[in-house]
Amino acid sequence: MTMKLVKKTAEYSIFKRGDERYAVKDANKKAVNGEEKVRILLAEELVKPNLVARPVVAEVVEEAPAAPAEEAPATDAE
């Protein structure tokens, strides 16, 4: 997979991969991932933040059942 250099600074280099995604390498040529990578790509305006609010899932709290109802005594029908 070939990567094209998009931008190079003293701290990092940004490449565009063959699948149209970005790769970031630090000055020591080690891959930068996670929040650090996202921060760099946002600062360079290469990606846009997704500001769509995710739906809030209401937490369902199940109550413990009340005391068990007393059962009628069993009768022997013979």
**Does residue 76 sit within a domain?**
no
**Does residue 56 sit within a domain?**
no
Number of domains in the chain: 1
Torsion of CA 61, 56, 46, 18, to 10 degrees: 60
**Does residue 68 sit within a domain?**
no
Residues 6+ apart with CB under 8 A from 23: 3, 14, 15, 16, 17, 31
Q: Is residue 71's pLDDT more than 90?
A: no
Where does residue 14 rank: exposed (0-12), middle (13-18), buried (19+ CB within 10 A)?
A: buried
**Does residue 61 sit within a domain?**
no
* pLDDT band with cut points at 50, 70 and 90 for residue 17: very high
Instruction: Output DSSP code: residue 68.
Output: P
In terms of pLDDT, which residue wins out, 53 or 40? 40
Q: Is residue 1's pLDDT more than 60?
A: yes
